[in-house]
Amino acid sequence: MSGARTTTVAMGLLALGAGALTARSLARAPQVERPLPPPPAAVEHLRPPVVDADFRPASRGEAAIAAARVFGMAVVLTPDEAAVGDFNGDGSPDLAVPVRPRRGQAAAVADPLANWTVQDCEASPPAPHPVLAPPSPRPLISETEVLLAMIHGYGSKGWRDPEARQAYVVRTGIDGGWRAEPQTARVSHVPAGLDVRDVLASRVRVGAAVFWRGGAYACRMEEPTSPRPVAHR
């Protein structure tokens, strides 16, 4: 009997000792903060470098397939030609294609829960750096409005890759097509030093351009006016 009691007391003391050691180790363990997940725009620049990127022009059929993959039945292509380029500076080919909301789908395009970003580009200031601001309500979109759908690429296949689903719907206020131009060509009055390979220039309005500013697209819609020469008498 006494032996059993001794064993029970010994086991109890061991349990108390183990509990005290565990509590002490937990009290001394440093708290490790988990890093916040990067924003969607930053994730693109965390990808490995793109090699042998496919910058071939997009056929109308290819553009329609990509638009259906990203937007479902919400939009239809306009007759205007699509443009291909590295518009967001991650090295992967992106697609820019003019679209309209499908009949009865304008609300779906502007839905805040949609898997794409809608922005009014016509009033976007070309800030040198992204400005963090509270999210604004998505703009209302009409069924007859021509929009610029931007599908960001993934890897060397770019926008043709089935994983390429990050997209922006940009309201430019221009009914017409766009062409890709190298950023080094200094299209219109696009700011110098953009961290992108290509920008978009309008085919129908002289001086209009759309370009990536990190997290959103900005627009310039008018050709800059040159200062008048001073007349010397």
Contacts of 69 (CB under 8 A, 6+ apart): 162, 165
Q: What is the pLDDT tens value at each position of the chain, 233 positions in all?
A: 555 555 555 565 555 555 555 555 545 545 545 555 555 555 555 566 788 999 999 999 999 999 999 999 999 999 999 999 999 999 999 999 999 999 999 999 999 999 999 998 854 554 554 444 455 556 689 999 999 999 999 999 999 999 999 999 999 989 889 999 998 776 655 776 677 889 999 999 988 899 998 889 998 876 544 444 444 54
Give the alpha-carbon dihedral of 44, 50, 52, 54, to 10 degrees: 0
**What 3-state class would DSSP assign to 23?**
helix
pLDDT of residue 164: 96
Residue 110 C-alpha from the chain's centroid: 16
Residues 6+ apart with CB under 8 A from 45: 89, 90
Strand order in the sheet with 217-220: 178-182, 198-202, 209-212, 217-220
Among all chains, which residue has been given the structure tokens 């370009």?
Answer: 211
- Is the whole model's pTM more than 0.85, yes or no? no
The bridge status of strand 209-212 relative to strand 217-220 is antiparallel
Which residues of the chain form beta strands (DSSP E)? 75-77, 83-85, 94-101, 117-120, 147-151, 167-171, 178-182, 198-202, 209-212, 217-220
| Phi/psi at 220 (5° precision) | -125, 125
| DSSP H or E run through 64 | helix 60-71
What element of type H or E holds 2?
helix 2-28
Res 228: pLDDT: 45
pLDDT at 36: 52
First to last CA, the chain: 124
- Whole-angstrom Cα distance, residue 15 to residue 25? 16
Sign of CA dihedral 208, 152, 65, 56: positive
pLDDT value at position 196? 82
